[in-house]
Amino acid sequence: MSSEDIFSSRLKLLIIMAKAFLKDCPIGKYRKQAIIENSHFVFYQSLKLSSEIGPIKNDDSRTQPGRASTGELYEEYFFYQRTQLLAVMAKALAEGRLKGKARRKALQDNLDRICETLTFNFHIKDVNFLKVA
Amino acid sequence: MSQVNIPNVKIAVIDDDLLARDFIVTVLMYCVNRDVLSFDSGLAAWQYIKDHGSLDIIISGIDVPGLSGFKLLSKFKKKYPEKKCILMSADPAHEPSARDSGADAFLAKPVSVNDLFKVVETFVV
């Protein structure tokens, strides 16, 4: 299992955890601990993957066949920024700090965007995991 | 950047780049726990300000259609000198001119979660 596969699996788990929170599923001691640990992993891995993209410039050096275009890199950059944000949000919800209507809306928006990108851009066929929550 | 504390803060994000704009709105909405306004042109933002009164903080791209970030900054600061205006650009060469024009901060694009957390920490919390 590559580090990319592990990141993908942990991100999916974090999505399920956050969706469960939005549906008011109870968070016990063990779930809380699992969410916090998973958030840390997703946060640091997203940070690493985001920094690997490097500066995004409008040159054509990256737009050769087989290489990601500037637009794709830009989308990827924001995807990892959103997964970092999700990790921050998930940690806050596990610690009982994610309160308020606008914060819940922000969490929902972020989850929607991440799932949209996972489904359409990363061509993940198995989206059944989203039905778990 | 000067430290201030704004209760019930009203923020608007102005950028024609939907990906960046929506991301900034999500981060700020989460941080301040309030709705955050968004506009795809400087003109639409200025129209809103004229019709509905002041906003506490505006975060605008420099190269936005209608009314550029610099022009919006100038109009906004003239009317509300005590309010905050943050300019963003992918071109770092814009930073000195943004500061000379009276911007309270400059954000290099593409913005990161950390940049936005720092903005909230400095201007809101």
Q: ipTM of this model?
A: 0.87
Q: Note whether A50 contacts B: Cβ–Cβ < 8 A.
A: yes
> For chain B, which residues make up each domain, given as ranges?
11-119
Average pLDDT, chain A: 85
Q: Which of B34, B91, B112, B114 to mutate to test the interface with A (most CBs of A within 10 A)?
A: B112
Overall number of domains in chain A: 1
Mean pLDDT of A111-122: 86
Using 50, 70 and 90 to split pLDDT, how confident is the model at A126? Answer: low
Q: CB of A20 within 8 A of CB of A97?
A: no
The shortest CB-CB distance from A102 to any of B19, B20, B34 is to B34
Fold classified for B11-119: Rossmann fold (3.40.50)
What are the structure tokens assigned to B78, written together? 């003239």
Q: How far is B33 from chain A (nearest CA, A)?
A: 5
Domain of A120, in residue numbers:
3-131
What are the structure tokens assigned to A84, written together? 């970092």
Range name among A47-56, A65-74, B20-29 with the lowest pLDDT average: A65-74
pLDDT tens, per residue, chain B with 125 residues? 444 567 789 999 999 999 999 999 999 999 999 999 999 999 999 999 999 988 999 999 999 999 999 999 999 999 999 999 999 999 999 999 999 999 999 999 999 999 999 999 999 87
CA distance B84 to B5: 12
CATH of the domain at A26: 1.20.120
